[in-house]
Amino acid sequence: MLAAVTMTMLAPSANAATPVSIGVIAPASAINGRAIFQGIRMATDEINANGGIDGRQIQLHEYDDHASATDGIRAFQRAVRQDHTVAVLGNFTSEVALAIQPWAARLKQPYIVTGAATTKIPQRIHAQYEQYKYVFRVNLNSAFLAKNVCATTKDVLVKQLGYKTAVIMSENAAWTKPLDAEYMKCLPEAGLKVLDHIRFSPGTTDFSPIFSRIAKNNPDVIISGIAHVGVKPTIQWHQQQVPALLACWSSQAGASSFWQDSSGAANGVITGNLGASSAALTDKSIPFAKAYTERFKESPAYDAYTSYDAVYVLKNAIERAGGDEADALVAALEKTDYTGTIGQIQFYSKDSEYAHDTRYGKQYVPGVAIQWQQGEQVVIWPPQATTGNVILPDFVPRDKNDS
């Protein structure tokens, strides 16, 4: 049964203006679902404490989609038809976001994705703009996540460590298809020869055969995409002492709970992220991470940053539109130019293959790369945000010729 929670407005009044109702959909039991809810609550509380949106308080309606497309659709329908939301935010799972997207079109409801990364979302908008124009994404899509990993690879793994070879190992999911396609293109451009490409079921529990296959190729690094399998591959990589560095886009690895969940097996793991507690991408980045950690007793996962920013993006659009009428709100969102915690947020135009996606790049949203070192997240890329140097676990040789 779908669970929904309606959050009470701050400082309610009998004469208060009609609230701005916003829906939030995410899997509550997942690290990244929790991060979405928490990031949005933080932004909402700040905005309400400072007068709301044009004097209107935000009222949140939260729904647990249980990572189910069916529950996600039901939640979206309830948000629009019963709770009368002006917009819906969230969603971590690409398959759920893709299922909801047609309903945003049918119900003409602005829908801002803050977690899911599949490139199919903007491709639909580009192909059928008038139908799908209500959907935006404050997050980087899979192709850009791969570019982030490849930029780190070039500057850190190739230039600093002298790495030459890699094996791609990603879970079989909607978001990793474009991720892996971009890996296959950009890793050789960054200086790594791809020796093998492995896609595994998200239901995999024993990675021994996969790591044995990888070890036969003797790569310098394993480049992966992990979101739904949790920490299992990380723990088994460490337990089996696989002699290759693990570098990836791991959705869970940005949160501090990843260290505890892996019992420290994450030591040495490199992952891309949208922000880090010590990365000053903008003047808002570190203050947000500090306040989030103090409030929720954990560092923010990537979609805590994006979800927090999305509320402010929506606020600014409503204020510029002079209200929350859907088409006017879409027009205002398309003109977004907002400095958030993850960078300068703008959206690609309808003429782009990535229509309504967040712009990627140094002057927009660059992403970061962190490495887990003795329980701490050390920023190793980009150069302007670096807080330390890359290290290697004891079982990963610096020079393969010595292994």
Greatest C-alpha distance within the chain: 75
In a domain, 357, yes or no: no
Q: Do 246 and 169 belong together in one domain?
A: yes
pTM strictly above 0.95:
no
Q: For residue 78, name the pLDDT band (cuts at 50, 70, 90).
A: very high
Alpha helices by DSSP H, listed for 12-93, are: 31-49, 69-81
In a domain, 83, yes or no: yes
Q: For residue 16, name the pLDDT band (cuts at 50, 70, 90).
A: low
Dihedral sign of CA atoms 354, 357, 362, 366 in order: negative
Query: Strands across the sheet with 193-200, in order?
Result: 193-200, 165-171, 221-226, 245-250, 270-273, 368-373, 376-381
The two tokens of residue 225 are 């995409």
Q: Do 171 and 219 belong together in one domain?
A: yes
Mean pLDDT of the chain: 93
Q: Do 36 and 168 belong together in one domain?
A: no
Q: Categorise residue 367: left if φ over 0, alpha if ψ from -120 to 50, beta otherwise.
A: left
In a domain, 356, yes or no: no
In a domain, 245, yes or no: yes
The two tokens of residue 79 are 């948000």
Please tell me the distance from the alpha carbon of residue 325 to that of residue 383, in angstroms, as a whole number: 43
Q: Do 294 and 385 belong together in one domain?
A: no
Q: Do 160 and 130 belong together in one domain?
A: no
In a domain, 360, yes or no: no
Tell me how many domains the chain contains.
2
Structural domain boundaries, residue 244: 143-273+367-402
Q: Do 267 and 376 belong together in one domain?
A: yes
Please tell me the distance from the alpha carbon of residue 96 to that of residue 26, in angstroms, as a whole number: 9
pLDDT (average), residues 14-34:
87
Q: Do 210 and 63 belong together in one domain?
A: no
Q: Categorise residue 249: left if φ over 0, alpha if ψ from -120 to 50, beta otherwise.
A: beta
- Looking only at the bridges linking them, the beta strands covering 135-137 and 165-171 are unpaired
Q: Is 225 helix (H, G, I), strand (E, B) or coil?
A: strand
Q: Do 269 and 253 contact (CB within 8 A), yes or no? A: yes
Q: The domain that contains 149 carries what CATH number?
A: 3.40.50.2300
Please tell me the distance from the alpha carbon of residue 304 to that of residue 300, in angstroms, as a whole number: 5
Q: Do 19 and 104 belong together in one domain?
A: yes
pLDDT (average), residues 202-211:
94
Higher pLDDT: 227 or 361? It is: 361
- Which pLDDT tens digit goes with each residue over 210-265? 999 999 999 999 999 998 887 899 999 999 999 999 998 888 888 788 899 999 99
Q: Above 60 in pLDDT, residue 331?
A: yes
Task: Indicate the residue among 345, 377, 393 that finishes a domain.
Answer: 345
In a domain, 350, yes or no: no
